[in-house]
Amino acid sequence: MRKFIKPKGRLLEFGSGARPRLPFFASVFLDINGEATNRLKGLGANAIKSSLESASFPDQYFDLVCGFDVLEHIQNDQRALNEVGRILKSKGKFIFSVPLQKSLYNGFDKTCGHTRRYEAKELIEKLSRAKLKIIAISEHGLRTKSQFIDKIGLFFLTRAPGLSIKFSDIFYSLSLKIAKKKVRLIKTNFLEKMSKMHGVLVVTEK
């Protein structure tokens, strides 16, 4: 994301949890979980306990807004997207990730609090209504299309959440090292490319 961060630009990450991705001391972090925001504030970050829609930032305030693996948890996602469009400056960027393919929705998604998985066309239309244009995408997500693996993950997540998180951390760190060698931004044929992905990272511009 470094290429999209302007010097002295205003940065916002909503749904950050206790592990934000944006620069720690140069960003505003939003989350509805008070424990997460208190932890970030204790470390010196500018963290606010709030939903995106309730934060009431000024119009055209931020240069970059991010929300990773968040939109699928929000009941009224169109309202959230519209709010991103409102608070972004002209030519500002919104970078986010979501799961794709409704047919893959299962017990794992439900347990994780996902209200939906997106279809590519649906996602593009919702972004358009918020006056956000896709400029690049990349395949994203650690889940496979295997129902069996999902069932194993769901078992550990519900029966041994602490152990599940530890294993997830190890798997996530290893996958990031591998991903750094493979990740590339795709800048054309968004509908076609996303239709073949099970999760996507999206870069949009207002």
pLDDT digits (tens, 9 = 90+) for 121-167: 999 999 999 999 999 999 887 565 666 766 777 776 777 777 777 77
Which amino acid type is present at position 58?
P
pLDDT digits (tens, 9 = 90+) for 62-121: 999 999 999 999 999 999 999 999 999 999 999 999 999 999 888 878 888 899 999 999
Which amino acid type is present at position 59?
D
Which amino acid type is present at position 88?
L
Looking at the domain assignment, is residue 91 inside a domain? Answer: yes
Report residue 85 CA to chain centroid gap: 16
Q: Which domain holds residue 131?
A: 2-142+183-205
Looking at the domain assignment, is residue 24 inside a domain? Answer: yes
CATH code at position 77: 3.40.50.150
Looking at the domain assignment, is residue 165 inside a domain? Answer: no
Total number of domains in the chain: 1
Q: Which residues of 122-159 are buried (b: 16+ CB within 10 A; e: fewer)?
A: ebbebbeebebebebbbbbbeeeeeeeebeebbeebee
Task: Tell me the pTM.
Answer: 0.86
